[in-house]
Amino acid sequence: MAGGNAIRGSRVGAGPMGEAERGDAAPRFVVSYWCANGHETRPSFAEESGSSAPVTWDCPRCGFPAGQDEQNPPAPPKVEPYKTHLAYVKERRSDTDGKAILDEALEQLRGRGLIR
């Protein structure tokens, strides 16, 4: 059974970790972003020379892109359904092209005597 030491992992005389021990925090600025669902996100960024806030930010609530213009948020991404390999092939080839390729392959197999 473990002892009832409430300050386990701490040394005697240790105080709370504050800015005095870690140094001063970098100056920061806050930017508001809005997504198509109306969610507002307010991340903060360090005020470094030459740094600026990104144009878009992912909304942590819905995952949609968010922009800095509340009246015109970015449109949600278009979600395309999963396509099979056959669907991609049909996009590239017409039915007549597919029939011609199939006939050519069957003729080669017949020429080798693999099928009748």
Of 72, 76, 73, the closest CA to residue 62 belongs to: 76
Give Cα separations from 23 to 17, 20, 46, 48, 56 (angstroms): 10, 6, 15, 17, 31
The predicted structure's pLDDT at residue 4: 60
Q: Are 67 and 56 in contact (CB under 8 A)?
A: yes
Residue 58: which H helix or E strand, with range? strand 56-58
Per-residue pLDDT of 23-82, as tens digits, reads 777 888 999 999 999 999 999 988 886 678 899 999 999 999 999 999 999 999 898 889
| The pLDDT of residue 89 | 86
Classified as helix, coil or strand, 28 is strand
pLDDT band at 3 (very low <50, low <70, confident <90, very high): low
State residue 49's pLDDT score.
62
Which band of pLDDT confidence, cut at 50, 70 and 90, is reported for residue 106?
A: very high
pTM: 0.53
Cα separation, 28 vs 107, whole angstroms: 72
Coil, strand or helix at 110: helix
